[in-house]
Chain A
Amino acid sequence: MTGINWFKYAAPQTFFHLSGKWIPVLGWIAFFLAIAGLYIGFFIAPTDFQQGEAYRIIFIHVPAAWMSMVIYLAMAFWAAIGLVFNTRLSAMMALALAPTGALFTALALITGSFWGKPTWGTWWVWDARLTSELILLFLYVGFIALHASIDNPQRADRAAAIIAIVGALNVPIIYFSVQWWNTLHQGASINVASAPKMAVTMLIGMLVMTLASWAYSVAVALFRVRCIILERERHAAWVNDLKEVKS
């Protein structure tokens, strides 16, 4: 192996110091992007020809729904890495992503409900898209609950990793549900194969909000990893030498 020793960054101690520098940066990026995204979404993006102003829920519903899927895949990825390489930090990353992913899933479901009532005429329907997204929430909650039910952290990591990995199958089901089955939920407005089916300013607003959600999610997940490190490694000498502990 030449170049950087990546495993150096996998040590909780190195990671703790490095992530501490990145969290405020990411936090401020998320904050300013969200302000910009909300400004575009409410003041620059025009009203919609079908849905009027109700469509503006898209500026949080779609980023939240995307994050719910992306975070799950990231969680499954870190869980799998932890299971295979037995690296301490990977499993902590998976555990740190779960609550944020669950939160975004719940927000996607609730904001979707607030959008469905005025447009479709119902809060909820059991169509393939909505049902698979609800299953995603159960997978997140199941992951967290199973981890919490096992006292030994290493064993908990391993058991929960299985849920994370198996549940990852649900993510493509959510994404393609609107193509594979008849659903009340409309198809994707944005995909690789065709031009976006949205006015440009609406699209920009949505993308800026999505970037804000990415920055927020990474910042919050890093923060939570640091908490988990502090809790798990509280007997380690380097933890006692931290300036947060000394002061």
Chain B
Amino acid sequence: MKLRYKRLGLILGAVALVAVAIGLVLNAFQSNIVFFYTPTQIVNGEVPKETSFRIGGMVLEGSLKRQDDGLTVQFAVTDTVNVVPVTYTGILPDLFKEGKGVVAQGALDSQGRFVASNVLAKHDENYMPPEAAEALKRAKVTQSPAVQPDGSNS
């Protein structure tokens, strides 16, 4: 009797786990597979209306402004084609910087501004020491931009 209950429990557990896995897959395919929308998609109106969604892109250089209360910030998110202004009140992650990737959750207001309730930093897959990053930056300013960091031509 005891063994049979144990086996039943294990089978039910396995079935439940598979069900949860399938549920997660379906859920991901429905809405979460699109983790964020780009500014171009927002400008073209390809985003859900009335519900919150995520915007992703780069923080436009020189667009970050802090309000006097020290917590409210305004910045613009760009995918190099279109720009969407964002306002956010709260603490920004350490890696949030102008010219770097960002993903913000929120909704558009009536003036086409994105009001964020949550801001995440999206970093890229490049890892290098600060000196190398500095040298790369200088090289980009002074030299031809066609040369890649590894020395090959793009």
Contact = CB atoms under 8 A, between A and B. Distances in A.
Contact of B127 (A121, A182, A188, A197): A197
Q: Which secondary structure dominates chain B's binding surface?
A: mixed
B120 A120 contact: yes
Contacts of B34: 181-182
Interface string B114-133: 00001111111111111111
Interface stretch (A32-40, A48-56, A221-229): A48-56
* Chain B CB within 10 A, most for which of A48, A121, A151: A121
Contacts of B95: 50-51, 119-121
Nearest to A200: B128
Interface in A18-54: 46-51
Interface string A90-114: 0000000000000000000000000
Interface string B77-102: 00000000000000011111000100
B20 A138 contact: yes
Contacts of A198: 126-128
Interface stretch (B25-33, B44-52, B59-67): B25-33
A121 B119 contact: yes
A135 B127 contact: no
B35 A48 contact: no
Given A47-B129, A126-B32, A181-B35, A146 B14 contact: yes
Max chain A CB contacts within 10 Å: which of B25, B35, B94, B128? Answer: B35
Nearest to B20: A138
A128 B33 contact: yes
B130 A49 contact: yes
Contacts of B36: 182, 184
Contacts of A184: 35-36, 56, 103, 120, 122
Interface in A107-152: 118-122, 125-128, 131-132, 134-135, 138-139, 141-142, 145-146, 148-149, 151
A197 B94 contact: no
B125 A189 contact: yes
Contact of A55 (B13, B56, B119, B127): B127
Interface of A: 46-51, 55, 58, 118-122, 125-128, 131-132, 134-135, 138-139, 141-142, 145-146, 148-149, 151, 163, 181-184, 186-189, 195, 197-199, 202
Given A126-B27, A138-B20, A188-B125, 16 more contacts: A48-B130, A49-B133, A50-B133, A119-B95, A120-B120, A121-B93, A121-B120, A131-B32, A135-B24, A182-B35, A184-B122, A186-B123, A186-B125, A197-B125, A198-B127, A198-B128
Interface of B: 7, 10-11, 13-14, 17-18, 20-21, 24-25, 27-28, 32-38, 56, 92-96, 100, 103, 118-134, 150, 152
7 contacts: A120-B120, A120-B122, A121-B94, A121-B121, A183-B35, A189-B126, A197-B124
